[in-house]
Structure 1
Amino acid sequence: MRKILIVGAGQSGLQLALGLQSKGYDVTLMSNRTADEIRSGRVMSTQCMFDTALQHERDLGLNFWEPQAPRIEGLGVSVAAPDSSRAIDWVGKLRGFAQSVDQRVKMAGWMDAFARRGGQLVIHGAAVGDLDYFARGYDLVLIAAGKGELVSMFGRDASRSPYSEPQRALAVAYVHGLGPRPEHPEFDAVRCNVVPGVGELFVMPTLTTSGRADILFWEGVPGGPVDAFRGIKDPAEHLALTLRLMERFTPWEHARATKAELTDAGGTLAGRYAPTVRQPIGRLPGGGLVLGVADVVVANDPVTGQGSNAASKCAAAYLASIVEHGDRPFDEAWMRATFDRYWATARHITKWTNAMLGPLPEHVVDLLGAGGQLQPIADRFANGFDDPADFENFFFEPEKAAAYLASLTGA
């Protein structure tokens, strides 16, 4: 039985640990917090997982919350005009529903399941020196902890990382009491509200520790008016600022948030990080090699909602590579090939996300505008969140965008 150590108990680390466990591997999982500490702690993320990522969970029987979590059937885009009205507004329908489960619920539940099924769970923060000692007892060591000292083992890939500084200031609030959308209230949808030059506001239904809720998520351009959450520690103050900014920049969303209140004292989060692609292999002081997983090696800004989706896709790709490899050694060549297998998917996510962080080019604004009159454009854009590779066909290049528009209009 092959022994595998996974450091980090997020979407990718836990999904991979549970997947390997189901295949008969001897898996040790290291986490710096217990399940109860995660469950009762602060929110860790926003997340909206689309059909492909959800299917990876279903394939492993890990979709524990599918009956309770809201079924998200659409994705809407609004673009603010200078007078704070909506210059663009539409909702695209998803082919397969999406869902959001608060990671405090999911990670704690998955961690309990891993331990209940006989997995070795070690609650301990890991430093590079610790890993140097531990690694000798395992056939493979995977690093899935995207923050802290361990990430420093993986060098930045400058050729794939155009940004060296954070491109957005992030502020999250989980709330109860949000009113329904006036447009298409009959189904749940994620709302992406673009305020040119200022940032984006995302509103998404979720399942949290206290049941159905909604996430209000500001992405502010650094130095702009939405970059205002640094230093705010009081959750009530955080929510009040979130709502004031909504009233100013997205009044159509604020109109349904007048009775919003935080789900719990841990329901807010703020921060920023530079989107970065790193080298996939880390070298321990004693010479051992470790393989980076998900946002350890490909960390994109959340502006396209791809974090948990990418983590799920990475875990699925790595699981397949490990199982297919059989009893052969997990050497450097295998590690590089395993990452390349994931990068074939992740490169589309990274390209699209980085494009959305800059000013939108004219042909993209034209496409978004046409989505209000041509439902196939709205639907295709919405489903690109599940399969970002499709954006290569109509989004990046003006010529392809024009050809796509012409195919719909006959012009």
Structure 2
Amino acid sequence: MRKILIVGAGQSGLQLALGLQSKGYEITLMSNRTADEIRGGRVMSTQCMFRTALGHERDLALNFWDELAPRVEGLGLSVAGPPASGGHPRVVDWVGRLHGHAQNVDQRIKMAGWMETFEQRGGQVVIHGAAVSDLDVLDRKYDLALVAAGKGELVSLFDRDAARSPYDTPRRALAVAYVHGLGPRPEHPDFDAVRCNLVPGVGELFVMPALTTTGRADILFWEGVPGGPVDAFRGITDPSEHLERVLELMEWFTPWEYARATKVELTDAGGTLSGRYAPTVRHPIGRLPGGGLVLGVADVVVANDPITGQGSNSAAKCAATYLASIVEHGDRPFDEEWMRTTFDRYWQSARHVTRWTNTMLAPPPEHIVNLLAAGTTFPAVAHRIANGFDDPSDFEHFFYEPEKTAAYLDEVREEAEAAEAAAALAAAEAESEADDGAEADDGAGIGGGAEAIRSVR
């Protein structure tokens, strides 16, 4: 039986540990906290997971909270225009429907539950904050050592990949509040959706339905441009003051969201989080002082800003890829070539996330402004962008290059006009009294929203 050490008990570490355990491997998991400490601690993330990532959990029968977590069936975008009396108005607003529902389970629930399941199934859990010196000794006892702890000393084992890391400083200041009492969005009261609110030049507010330790909740998540008005949480340690600041910013920059948040309260004393980090891709292999090699997992080696909501999704995909590579490798040594090949296999999906995320951290070029605005006029555009959160590789076909974006919008417009013409013809043939000349689109809907975005970006 092959022995594997996994350091880190987050989405990737625990998913991989449970997956390998189910395949008969002898797994040791190292965590700096017990399950009870995780469950009773502070929130760790904003972890909305989409269809593909959830599928990896279901493949391992780890979807313990499917019947409890809110079904997130859509993803919407709003863009704030220049300030007016009473705050910033909306100049773009749409919601796209997801092909498969998303789900957001507080990691305090999931990681604690998975760790207990791993132990109940015979896995060994070592509660210890591992240092490089610890790993240098332990590595010799295992066939493979994996580092899935994205913070702390062990990250220093993995050198920054400058060619894949365009930023060397944080691009956003992050502030999270888990709340009860948020009202529904009146635009779609019958289904839950993640709402992405862009305030050009200032930052972004994300609102996400979730399951937390105290039941159904919503997450209010600000990403502020460093040095700007939303970069306003340094030094705040009181959770109530943190929530008050979140709401003050909502009232001015996203009043349409604030309107449903006037009665919110924190879910618990641990329901806030703030910080910042530079998005970084690192080389996947760490070399220990004694010469041993360790393989980095998920955000240890590909840490993207959460602006595109991909952290837990990428972690699940990385764990699934590594699981397949380990099992397929059989009894052969886990040497440097295998480690590099395994990471490269994961990078085939991770590269799309990294490109998309880094693009969204920069001021949007003209063609992306037009594309985002077009979602208001054309539901097909809204749906496609929304489902890109599940499969970011699709953005390669219509998002980054102006020519591809223009061609896609022309295609969507032609399809909409053809559908409208067909409907009008059917109505005429049936001698209906319906207005057969309604709403032939000349692109004005794109131009109006796009112009408002341009004026403030």
Give yes or no for TM over 0.5: yes
TM-superposed CA distance for 1:226, in Å, is 0.2
Instruction: Output the amino acid matched with 1:302.
Output: P
Indicate the SS of the match to 1:279: coil
The question of 1:249 aligning with 2:221 is answered no
Q: Distance in 2 between matches of 1:103 and 1:13?
A: 13
SS at match of 1:99: strand
Q: Which residue number in structure 2 is paired with residue 68 of structure 1?
A: 68
Counterpart position of 1:235: 239
Residue ranges of structure 1 left out of the alignment (5+ in a row)? none
Which residue number corresponds to residue 16 of structure 2?
16
Find the counterpart in structure 1 of residue 143 from structure 2.
139
* Shift of residue 315, structure 1, vs aligned partner: 0.1
| Pair 1:318 & 2:331 matched | no
Q: Does 1:355 align with 2:359?
A: yes
Equivalent in 100, 105, 122 of residue 101 of structure 1: 105
One-letter amino acid of the structure 1 residue matched with residue 23 of structure 2: K
1:197 matched to 2:201? The reply is yes
Q: Secondary structure at the match of 2:62?
A: coil
What SS is found at the alignment partner of 1:348?
helix
Aligned to 2:344: 340
Q: Secondary structure at the match of 1:191?
A: strand
* Cα distance in 1, alignment partners of residues 53 and 148 from structure 2: 17
What does residue 57 of structure 2 align with? 57
1:47 is matched with 47
Could you say which structure has the larger radius of gyration?
Answer: 2
Separation in 2, partners of 1:228, 1:371: 31
Where does residue 261 of structure 1 map in the other structure?
265
The amino acid that maps onto 2:112 is A
CA deviation string 1:291-311 (max 9, x = no partner): 000000000000000000000
- Counterpart position of 2:192: 188
Distance 1:154 1:267 in 2: 31
Q: Which residue of 1 aligns with 2:6?
A: 6
Deviations 1:166-199 (A, max 9, x none): 0000000000000111101100000000000000
In 1: Cα distance, 2:412 partner to 2:30 partner: 52
Larger mean Cα displacement after TM superposition, 347-356 or 358-367? 358-367
**Aligned runs of 1:149-168 on 2, under 5 Å?**
149-168=153-172
Corresponding letter in the other structure for 2:123: G
Structure 1 Cα separation of the partners of residues 258 and 342 of structure 2: 45
Task: Name the CA distance, whole Å, in 2 between partners of 1:327 and 1:27.
Answer: 16
Partner SS, residue 387 of structure 2: helix
How far apart in 1 are the matches of 2:201 and 2:153? 34
Q: What TM-score does the superposition give when structure 2 sets the normalisation length?
A: 0.90
What is the CA deviation profile of residues 240-286 of structure 1, one whole-angstrom value per residue up to 9, with x for unaligned ones?
A: 00000000100000000000000000000000000000000000000
Q: Following TM superposition, by how much is the alpha carbon of 1:348 offset from its aligned partner in structure 2, in angstroms?
A: 0.2
The letter for the 2-side match of 1:15 is: Q
- CA distance, structure 2, for counterparts of residue 409 and residue 33 of structure 1: 54
Take 1:274 and 1:29, find their aligned partners in 2: how far apart are those partners? Answer: 27
2:378 partner letter: L
Query: Within 2, Cα distance between the matches of 1:14 and 1:409?
Result: 46
1:337-375 per-residue CA deviation (whole Å, 9 max, x = no partner) reads: 000000000000000000000001111110111100100
Q: TM-score, normalised by structure 1?
A: 1.00
Q: Which residue is 2:289 aligned to?
A: 285
Matching of residue 82 in structure 1 with residue 86 in structure 2: no
Please, which of 117, 123, 133 is the counterpart of residue 113 of structure 1? Answer: 117
What stretches of structure 1 move > 2 A for 4+ residues in a row?
none
Secondary structure of 1:371's match? helix
Counterpart CA distance in 2 for 1:122 and 1:4 is 13
Give SS of 2:119's match: helix
Letter of the 1:341 partner, please give it. R
1:409 to partner: Cα distance: 1.1
Q: CA deviation at 1:37?
A: 0.2
Quote how far apart the aligned CAs of 1:42 are: 0.2
- Confirm whether residue 388 of structure 1 aligns to residue 395 of structure 2: no
1:21-40 matches, cutoff 5 A: 21-40=21-40
CA–CA distance in structure 1, aligned partners of residues 343 and 246 of structure 2? 38
How big is the shift at 1:33? 0.1
- CA deviation string 1:206-265 (max 9, x = no partner): 000000000000000000000000110000000000000000100000000000000000
Paired residue for 2:439?
none
Distance of 2:406 and 2:344 partners within structure 1: 32
What letter is aligned with 1:14? Answer: L
1:391 shift after superposition: 0.2
Partner-residue secondary structure (3-state), 1:82:
coil
Amino acid at match of 1:372: T
Structure 2 counterpart of 1:124, from 123, 128, 134: 128
SS state of the match for residue 377, structure 2? Answer: coil
SS in 2 for 1:243: helix
Corresponding residue to 1:212 among 207, 213, 216 = 216
- Take 1:344 and 1:214, find their aligned partners in 2: how far apart are those partners? 32
The one-letter code of the counterpart of 2:59 is D
Aligned residue pairs: how many?
411
Q: C-alpha displacement at 1:159, in angstroms? A: 0.0
Give 1:408 shift.
1.2
**Percentage of identical aligned residues:** 78
One-letter amino acid of the structure 2 residue matched with residue 340 of structure 1: D
Measured in 1, the distance between the counterparts of 2:121 and 2:106 equals 23
